[in-house]
Structure 1
Amino acid sequence: MTIRRHLLATLALCACCLPALAQLSPKPELGLWETRTKMTVNGRDMLADMRTAQEAMMKSLPPEQRAQMAEAMKAQGAGAPSETDQECLDAKSLADWADPKARLREMEKDAPGCKFDQTAAGGATLQFKGRCTDPEGFTGDVTGTMTMKGPREWTALYTGKGQSQGRPMDMRVETRGRWLAASCGAVKPQR
């Protein structure tokens, strides 16, 4: 599993945990949300490393190829790895988020080779644990806690300890979601 694929699976893991918040109080407000994520692997900021590598690769290309690559990435919706993402939470999305077991199954789909179990949910906090066994990627244990700070803010911390391709791997993902506006504008709900 490449670092990029591993990062995407981890970010999906973070994003997929948000739906279980419908079981907690207070419930998140509908509208446009911003999520900021910081991921470190063995103490290194992976998003920053990926951005630096992508910038170096783009700079090494001749101007014509650089323009073609930038256009191709734009057409595919790919760009520099970002710490910030936006998501639209509408009434249907909130209703879909009511089943924590469904959310765990969704997490397992986004992170093949991983099994997750909810360990606690109540009040403003959700906790889970999991085990991943991916011979080409991360193999180890994952734990996470997500807390609603109010209807317009949540925080999460996920840690993983194991190995990747035979090398020790300590992963830490810190995420903060905050409500931006009642209207989602051009951002469409995910289905």
Structure 2
Amino acid sequence: MKHCLTLLATLTLAMATGANAQSTKPGLWEINTKMQSSSGEMEKAMANMEKQLAGMPPEQRKQMQDMMAKQGVSMGSSSGGGMSMKTCLTKEMAERNELPQQQQGDCKTTQSPRSGNTMKFSYVCTQPPSSGEGVMTFSGDTAYTMKMNTTTTVKGKPEKMSMDSSGKWLSADCGAIKPMSPPKK
């Protein structure tokens, strides 16, 4: 479950990096993601994580959700078997082109200049070891779609994954979702 969350956070960072290349509106964002892996392991891990959360007593589930919210994450299922994540982008983060992120490794992202409303990007991370490339299509400063291909290692074996994602701005007020801290350099 931890590997699954770490990889999801890393992939979310990669797609959020691209989203922030264009000025994005600060506030509460919802990111919906659907992933497919070559082995099916990621889908199994996500389904298992959702099953574990659903099987928790209500108090324990709320405690887990509150803990995640304090770290800047609210997760749930989205339509089509994907994952929905809410995250907070502060005004200062948007001004500094800083991203809401929770990351344990070192990632380097390369972005191509925007061409119209699209931008290509690639990334390499050390924890978990992964790399990928993608294309983002922006709809102003309040929405985007993204397609990305990733190579990583799951249970010691190479894994190829594809991800389709969309992000939309929900409100200027992040509510109980606290901004994530940038990784220490």
Structure 1 and Structure 2 fold alike (TM over 0.5):
yes
Q: Does 1:143 align with 2:137?
A: no
Q: Does 1:77 align with 2:73?
A: no
Q: Which residue of 2 aligns with 1:25?
A: none
Q: Does 1:96 align with 2:113?
A: no
Q: Could you state the TM-score of these two structures normalised by the residue count of structure 1?
A: 0.64
Aligned amino acid, residue 77 of structure 1: M
Q: Does 1:179 align with 2:169?
A: yes
- Runs of 4+ with deviation above 6 angstroms: none
Q: Write 1 or 2 for the structure with the bigger share of helix.
A: 1
Larger Rg: 1
Alpha-carbon displacement from aligned partner over 1:21-55 (angstroms, at most 9, x marks no partner): 22xxxxx4455432211122226484674244442
State the 1:143 CA deviation.
0.5
| Larger mean Cα displacement after TM superposition, 162-171 or 146-155 | 162-171
Aligned residues: 170
Q: Could you state the TM-score of these two structures normalised by the residue count of structure 2?
A: 0.66
Q: Which residue of 2 aligns with 1:152?
A: 142
CA distance in 2, matches of 1:30, 1:120: 22
Aligned-residue CA RMSD (Å): 3.7
SS at match of 1:2: helix
Question: Counterparts in 2 of 1:1-191, with a 5 A limit?
Answer: 2-22=3-23, 28-29=24-25, 31-42=27-38, 44=40, 46=42, 49-55=45-51, 59=55, 66=57, 69-77=60-68, 82=77, 83-89=83-89, 91-97=91-97, 110=103, 112-133=105-126, 137-139=128-130, 141-181=131-171, 183-184=172-173, 186=175, 190=179
Q: Does the 8 A contact of 2:76 with 2:85 survive in 1?
A: no
Aligned amino acid, residue 18 of structure 2: C
State the 1:171 CA deviation.
1.3
The share of aligned pairs that are identical, in percent, is: 21
CA distance in 2, matches of 1:151, 1:38: 22
